[in-house]
């Protein structure tokens, strides 16, 4: 428990510092927009490229990746069924519900947490590839098949 707390403590401290700096206006009125654009357009693409370019395809058979894929399928399937049956929505809406249920924030939050807590973010690359190569095409196919002729 102590190891887990000590791994997450720096993340919480930096979050608190960022909140205080933002509330105090230390970096000016445009700081949020400028820093957001920097992270979105420069820092995260560089980090993602570095991770994905070094990803090895053989890790897709690793038990942790299989567990991730299975849990994603269960969560996405539950979201799809819930939107279709409970809320009575069509296939496109249910597909978006499935994606919302099964898609994780593996980049913006996953990379820093994996590096800090696990000491390695290589698993995040496989998660991103799975979401881009499997989950997104399935969802987009379901959305498109439900909107033909609309």
User: Would you say 47 and 111 are in contact if contact means Cβ atoms under 8 Å apart?
Assistant: yes
Intra-chain end-to-end CA distance of the chain, in Å: 54
The range of the structural domain enclosing residue 68 comes to 2-147
Q: Residue 67 class from Cβ within 10 Å (0-12 exposed, 13-18 middle, 19+ buried)?
A: exposed
Q: What is the pTM of this model?
A: 0.68
Q: How do residues 44-99 score in pLDDT, each as one tens digit?
A: 888 778 777 776 777 667 788 888 899 999 999 999 999 999 999 999 999 999 99
Q: How many structural domains does the chain have?
A: 1
Nearest alpha carbon to residue 128 among 142, 112, 149, 107? 107
């Amino acid at each position: 428990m102590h190891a887990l707390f000590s791994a997450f403590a720096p993340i919480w401290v930096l979050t608190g510092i960022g909140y205080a700096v933002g509330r105090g206006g230390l970096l000016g009125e445009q700081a949020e927009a400028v820093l957001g654009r920097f992270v979105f357009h420069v820092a995260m693409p560089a980090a993602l490229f570095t991770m994905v370019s070094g990803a090895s395809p053989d890790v897709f058979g690793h038990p942790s990746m299989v567990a991730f894929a299975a849990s994603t399928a269960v969560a996405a399937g539950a979201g799809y069924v819930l939107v279709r049956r409970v809320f009575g929505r069509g296939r496109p809406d249910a597909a978006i519900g499935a994606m919302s249920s099964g898609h994780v924030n593996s980049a913006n939050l996953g990379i820093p947490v994996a590096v800090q807590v696990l000491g390695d973010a290589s698993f995040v690359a496989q998660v991103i590839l799975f979401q881009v190569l499997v989950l997104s095409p399935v969802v987009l196919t379901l959305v498109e098949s439900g909107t033909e002729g609309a």
